[in-house]
């Protein structure tokens, strides 16, 4: 597919009465809202849609494109505007800092007539916009994978992590799930009476023996997702005061704190405390992990004012506002 060559318009405010489509293509689901930005905040979402995973780094470009289109169509249908022309769309997609990947999605938006103009942003930007004042601070995502993004008030930025499970993903659902599986395998090898964490981990993947576990994981089409699927069992055990599960989460918190520190220090970010917006299934679902993250940050000399971002689409809406500190680049798709 050839790269898109449209002329772009930065910071385009748009018409006061225009509709806005916002899409978050995540590792487990793709969510879309059709929004009227002129309405009060509690009334501006006109329709909601969902589809399957849309992260192109894990499901591929074709499947991500299909999921985005399906979620968008569902949101328009929910708003009873299935045939409406959409003036603007903001797509939050992991890996879209890569220009070639971004060009692919611009071209796909053209072929599907998704909107008149499209802005494509990395999945960290909506978290930063939704969880920090004036888009200054750090966005940390821990879901299946992990990544941190820091932005200073003067516009300097740093992206750390996001390398995938073979090279990174410290403190992620994959890392937590892997640690939980290793704990269970060690116990099975020792022939000791299984601790509650081992029982919870084995139940999560429907296995009972070492051979069951290895077969289950290695035979999956997506072993990374299979391993990450164990993380909720570890998080639940930690919330029930299981000391072994808590140790796993505390190690994950230490790794996430180091990831944040790398992002902060690489741009000489000197606000202390700084705004820290956290998102992703792992951080949002755990009671212990965000608290321990702040403990670990203080241990290395950093203090944060933490906010949990439950809904990245709110950040997409804020990014589209003309007064936002981050000015988006809008690509003409059709007129």
Q: Matching CATH topology for 8-122+313-332 and 136-302?
A: yes
Assign 101 to helix, strand or coil: helix
Range scoring the smallest mean pLDDT among 1-10, 117-126, 207-216, 297-306: 1-10
Does the domain spanning 136-302 belong to CATH 3.30.420.40?
A: yes
Burial 201-226 (b: 16+ CB within 10 A, else e): bbebbebeeeeebeebbeeeeeebbb
Which of 9, 3, 18, 43 is closest to 115 using CA atoms? 18
Tell me the whole-structure pTM to 2 decimals. 0.84
pLDDT in tens, 252-305: 999 999 999 999 988 887 777 889 999 988 998 899 999 999 999 999 989 888
Class of domain 8-122+313-332: alpha beta
DSSP label at residue 4:
P
Cis preceding linkage at 273, omega within 30: yes
| 149, 125 contact by CB (below 8 A) | yes
pLDDT at residue number 259: 95
pLDDT at residue number 9: 43
The angle formed by the CA atoms of residues 287, 290 and 294, to the nearest 5 degrees, is 140
Q: Supply the DSSP string of 227-293, one letter for each residue.
A: HHTTHHHHHHHHHTT-HHHHHHHHHHHHHHHHHHHHHHHHTT---SSEEEEEESHHHHH-SHHHHHH
The arithmetic mean of pLDDT across residues 22-26, rounded, is 90
Domain boundaries defined on the chain: 8-122+313-332, 136-302
pLDDT at residue number 4: 43
């Amino acid at each position: 597919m050839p790269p898109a060559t449209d002329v772009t318009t930065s910071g385009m405010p748009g018409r006061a009465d225009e509709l806005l489509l916002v899409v978050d293509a995540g590792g487990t689901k793709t969510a879309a809202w059709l929004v009227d930005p002129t309405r009060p905040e509690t009334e501006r979402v006109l329709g909601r849609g969902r589809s399957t995973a849309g992260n192109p780094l894990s499901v591929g470009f074709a499947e991500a494109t299909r999921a985005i289109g399906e979620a968008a169509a569902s949101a328009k249908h929910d708003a009873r505007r299935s045939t409406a022309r959409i003036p603007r769309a903001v797509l939050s997609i992991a890996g879209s800092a890569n220009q070639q990947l971004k060009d692919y999605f611009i071209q796909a938006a053209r072929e599907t007539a998704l909107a008149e103009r499209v802005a494509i942003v990395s999945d960290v930007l909506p978290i930063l916009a939704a969880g920090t004042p004036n888009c200054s601070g750090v966005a940390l995502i821990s879901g299946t994978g992990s990544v941190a993004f820091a932005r200073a008030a003067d516009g300097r930025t740093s992206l750390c992590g996001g390398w995938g499970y073979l090279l990174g993903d410290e403190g992620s659902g994959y890392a937590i799930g892997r640690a939980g599986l290793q704990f269970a395998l060690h116990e099975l090898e020792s022939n000791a009476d299984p601790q509650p964490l081992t029982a919870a981990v084995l139940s999560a993947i429907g296995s009972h023996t070492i051979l069951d576990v290895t077969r289950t994981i290695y035979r999956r089409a997506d072993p990374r997702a299979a391993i990450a699927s164990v993380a909720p069992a570890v998080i639940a055990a930690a919330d029930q005061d299981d000391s072994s599960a808590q140790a796993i989460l505390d190690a994950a918190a230490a790794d996430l704190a180091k990831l944040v520190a790398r992002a902060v220090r690489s741009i000489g970010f000197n606000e202390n405390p700084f705004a820290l917006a956290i998102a992703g299934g792992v951080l949002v679902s755990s009671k212990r992990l965000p608290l321990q993250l702040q403990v670990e940050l203080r241990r290395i000399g950093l203090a944060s004012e933490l906010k949990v971002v439950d809904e990245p689409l709110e950040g997409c809406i804020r990014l589209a506002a003309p007064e936002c500190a981050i000015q988006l680049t809008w690509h003409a798709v059709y007129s």
